[in-house]
Amino acid sequence: MSFPVLPSSPAAPADGLDAVVSRLRAAGCVFAEDEAALLVAAATTPAELDSMVRRRAAGLPLEHILGWAGFCGLRVAVDPQVFVPRVRTEFLVRQAAAQAPPDAVVVDLCCGTGAVGLALLADLAAAGTPAAELHAADIDPAAVRCARRNLTAPGSGVRDCGALSIAVHRGDLYDPLPERLRGRVDLLVVNAPYVPTEAIALLPTEARVHEARVALDGGPDGLDLHRRVAAGADRWLAPGGSLLIETSERQAEQTAAVFAAGGLLPRITGSDELDATVVIGTRP
């Protein structure tokens, strides 16, 4: 992901884009060239650019500095402390789109920025099968505010997705969902935290320091939220509806067993290209 930067950019330093690249590379940024181009394109003055580069070098996520992340070809707003959507999660969107019936009722739990729901709406509309409803929910108030910007605010990133209703709810998993959705959900897409608690300390600074702990910590084995989601799924899914959860390759068999214990028919799918694993459980 990069944008061309003209040499005459008012924010470009006197010694050019290379100076920004050098500063970012010295700070350990793996994609220094791409990040420098994005920062120079976003800054309006040399002083603003210097501030942005200093914050990035200190470990602030690039997306928090820019205020957006690229996801499934969309520009998704990302607020400070909110979980940044990962490229690997695009595989979750693809798998959900492949499962969607016409006029699907979709629920995006642990929605964060709302990126998964937003991208899924766009994919379904592009395929000529727009969703009937999308409900997104998160327990983190900062994430809920961000998701509402992306999904429901005037001028949000929602494209012309056909006739659908969209709502963003704050609460713990299923708790805030309208009762009328029970037994009607066709797609339940979930990117719940699945990092084991002891592994949080091993995460990059960008995640460990600058994203909410509630969006990262999956409990002792990383599967606490997977168990809770699977335990309630059959009450919300329509017959034939599917629960899709992102997980790691190492945890996938355990997640599949959790799905089976909850009465779902599980299967595991993955993408080597994106280093992504998704477990899909279908209600019989």
State pLDDT tens for residues 222-280. Answer: 999 999 999 999 999 999 999 999 999 999 999 999 999 999 999 999 999 999 999 99
State pLDDT tens for residues 171-229. Answer: 999 999 999 999 999 999 999 999 999 999 999 888 999 999 999 999 999 999 999 99
Residue 5: per-residue pLDDT: 38
Residue 9: per-residue pLDDT: 54
Dihedrals phi, psi of 200, to nearest 5 degrees: -60, -40
CA-based nearest residue to 246, from 206, 214, 275: 275
pLDDT band at residue 164 under the 50/70/90 scheme: confident
What angle (nearest 5°) sits at the alpha carbon of residue 39, between those of residues 36 and 40?
A: 85
State pLDDT tens for residues 98-139. Answer: 999 999 999 999 999 999 999 999 999 999 999 999 999 999
Cα–Cα separations (whole angstroms), residue 201 to 88, 204, 216, 275: 21, 8, 11, 21
> pTM here?
0.90
Kindly give, in sequence order, each residue whose CB lies less than 8 Å from that of residue 114, ignoring residues fewer than 6 positions away. 76, 108, 136, 146, 147, 148, 150, 151, 168
Asked whether the predicted pLDDT for residue 13 surpasses 50, the reply is yes
**Are the C-beta atoms of residues 155 and 189 closer than 8 Å to each other?**
no
